[in-house]
Structure 1
Amino acid sequence: MKKKLFKIIGPLCMMILLSACVNKKEAVDNNENAEKKIFVVSSFNAMTEFAMAIGGDKIEITTIVPSGVEAHDFEPKAKDMKNMSKADLFVYNGLEMEHWAEDILKSIDNKNLVVVEASKGADLIKTSKQEGHEHGHFDPHVWLSLKEAKVEANNIKEALVKIDYSNKSYYEENYKRFEKELDDLKDEYESKIKPLQNKTFVTGHAAFAYLCREFDLHQYSVEDVFAEGEPTPQKIKELVSIGKEVNLKTVFTEENVSPKVSETLAREIGAKTETINTLESEGNYIETMRENLQKIYESLN
């Protein structure tokens, strides 16, 4: 009787044990697949913000240019090359913002890397001949336009869909949500800024041409588009004159640009200085652009 019982129970136990092992393996495999994320390398903070807005919890991201460093001036390190060699996606602005991007792409061995030049397809603003002599012929600060930010975010979305088509609807929903946030912010400040008589402001460097085009504002700057060179005495005199003429209350300076000249200019005019964020180093995109617009709006009243 015991032998018969063993013949029945023995195989049954083996079947249960094997089934448990298979189920455990499937659970481990499913867990690994669920946790596997697209590895994204972005050039600087604004590109990281766009990628996170679209990629959400489907991506793991690292930013090449550290906080407090100008993307124009940065030189990639060995760790950046290593990250690029194993990345699924590389996101950069383009337009000579990251002069090192082309060299780093040539030097790595990563045939599966998808590369997104986020500014592709944007409505670009030409720089002056002097400004564009070494850096290209277009203002690279595309991301500081709420309208052009949609172009950059859409380019990133298309790349993520290409890499991970099974989650296409997820990326598209995230893009629609981000697009609505951008449109709502634009509508809010259009209604505030449009009635104003004075629409002139002064910045440390000429990073806000796209934003000005969007809101019919006029930007004067201490330094040029690429924040290079010291302003001439004639330039300072001109800015003082403009500031007094429009009763300028604020001279803006940026997070990565020396405030010394802006502070001198502000004293000459009788204005205060305040920091405005170009999102190159830090800041949530929507929140920071709202803060920028609010500061500009208050300075014009």
Structure 2
Amino acid sequence: MKKIVAALIALTLIFGLSACNGKQANNSEVKETSTSEEKIKVIVSFNPIKEFVLEIGGNKVDVETIIPEGSEPHDFEPKVRDIAALTEADIFIYNGLGMESWVDKVLNSIDKKTLTIVEASKGCEAIKISDPEEIKEHGEYDPHIWLSLKEAQKESKNIKDALIMVDFKNKDYYEKNYENFIKELNSLYDEYKKKFDTVSNRCFVTGHAAFGYLCRDFNLNQNSVEDVFAEGEPSGKKMKELVDFCKANNVKTVFLEEMASPKVSETLANEIGAKVEKIYTIASKEDNKNYIQSMRENLEKIYNSLK
């Protein structure tokens, strides 16, 4: 009988019928691990968060991603197995700013007493969305904050602090990895800040409006075929505005992301005599590139398109 009761309790946790208060990453409590060899189990929402965790956590962490590679993060709904995995994790890290609309519902359905929860974008300087319809459906902020080298540092710090809180004995290891990663981010920023400062043209065109934070880093201006949440093809009026924008700003490249509509981007490129070139949102891992490699390629392509 006791075994049956225990099994029923486990099923209740998996299917999300209990709700308790969880630890937040700013708690002072430290969770101990049973052995020095045991890795911290970290569940993340999607790829860019995984990239940051691996940079800082190194060989001390075991990372799983909820949103599958190639899936649209804005539309994803977690499965029962995803909820079950959270009940076994030490840390759950998500981006926030409305990127994962399912997070609150899922976290309210599990026992969080032993789970450290991290909203990676906490403390970041978010960009407000101006379109009332987008705000109504998704929230008031642009969630693509990881595409800023400056804001990526803040997300990384939140992740580092959580790893230290859960695994304090490896504090020096996490601190060293974090500092090395920050140096890489700053070096990449400084390199391309100098490059972008040499060009007078600051405008480029993308498949969807994911690069607002990158633009803010380097004082650039994006115009996009699709909105911030990669939804819907543009109207005839919007297409005309895009064509006029491209011609006025001598746009020779239309950048296309994995999740954006290639048909419309190719139509626009043909209309203005431009080429279509791939760019990374890093929402999924593409071409086996890590975060620094992907961002460097993005910046170099954008820079070359503006010269």
Measure the CA separation in 2 of the matches of 1:254 and 1:132.
23
Per mean C-alpha deviation after superposition, the further-off stretch among 32-41 and 148-157 is 32-41
Q: Is 1:200 matched up with 2:206?
A: no
Q: Greater Rg, structure 1 or structure 2?
A: 1
Measure the CA separation in 1 of the matches of 2:304 and 2:55.
28
The equivalent position to 2:226 in structure 1, one of 217, 220, 223, is: 223
Deviations 1:202-247 (A, max 9, x none): 0011100010011010100111111112211111001111111222
Contiguous gaps of at least 5 residues in structure 2: 1-33
Q: Give matches, 1:116-155, under 5 Å.
A: 116-128=118-130, 129-155=132-158
Query: Is the partner of 2:270 in helix, strand or coil?
Result: helix
Residue 69 (structure 1) aligns with: 71
TM-score, normalised with respect to structure 2: 0.86
Query: Is the partner of 2:190 in helix, strand or coil?
Result: helix
CA RMSD of aligned residues (A): 1.0
Residue 178 (structure 1) aligns with: 181
Letter in 2 for 1:159: A
Query: Is the partner of 2:35 in helix, strand or coil?
Result: helix
Measure the CA separation in 2 of the matches of 1:169 and 1:40.
19
Higher helix share: 1
Query: Is the partner of 1:34 in helix, strand or coil?
Result: coil
Q: Check conservation: 1:54, 1:157, Cα contact below 8 A.
A: yes
Measure the CA separation in 2 of the matches of 1:177 and 1:70.
31
Measure the CA separation in 2 of the matches of 1:109 and 1:131.
32
Residue 288 (structure 1) aligns with: 294
Paired positions, count: 270
Measure the CA separation in 2 of the matches of 1:291 and 1:76.
31
Tell me how far 1:106 sits from its aligned partner: 1.3
Q: Check conservation: 1:86, 1:110, Cα contact below 8 A.
A: no
The equivalent position to 1:299 in structure 2, one of 290, 293, 305, is: 305
Q: Check conservation: 1:201, 1:251, Cα contact below 8 A.
A: yes
Letter in 1 for 2:100: E
Q: Give matches, 1:29-48, under 5 Å.
A: 33-48=35-50
Residue 85 (structure 2) aligns with: 83
Measure the CA separation in 2 of the matches of 1:83 and 1:220.
39
Measure the CA separation in 2 of the matches of 1:115 and 1:256.
28
Measure the CA separation in 2 of the matches of 1:297 and 1:74.
33
Measure the CA separation in 2 of the matches of 1:294 and 1:79.
40
The equivalent position to 2:103 in structure 1, one of 80, 101, 104, is: 101
Q: Check conservation: 1:96, 1:135, Cα contact below 8 A.
A: yes
Query: Is the partner of 1:131 in helix, strand or coil?
Result: helix
Deviations 1:34-59 (A, max 9, x none): 32110000000000001111111110
Deviations 1:180-207 (A, max 9, x none): 0000000000111111011100001110
Q: Percent identity?
A: 59
Q: Is 1:52 matched up with 2:58?
A: no
Measure the CA separation in 2 of the matches of 1:93 and 1:197.
34
Q: Give matches, 1:240-251, under 5 Å.
A: 240-251=243-254
Q: Check conservation: 2:226, 2:260, Cα contact below 8 A.
A: no
Where do 4+ consecutive residues of structure 1 move more than 4 Å? Answer: none
Measure the CA separation in 2 of the matches of 1:259 and 1:232.
16
The equivalent position to 1:269 in structure 2, one of 260, 269, 272, is: 272
Measure the CA separation in 1 of the matches of 2:80 and 2:305.
44
Measure the CA separation in 2 of the matches of 1:280 and 1:90.
17
Residue 114 (structure 1) aligns with: 116
Contiguous gaps of at least 5 residues in structure 1: 1-31
Residue 18 (structure 2) aligns with: none
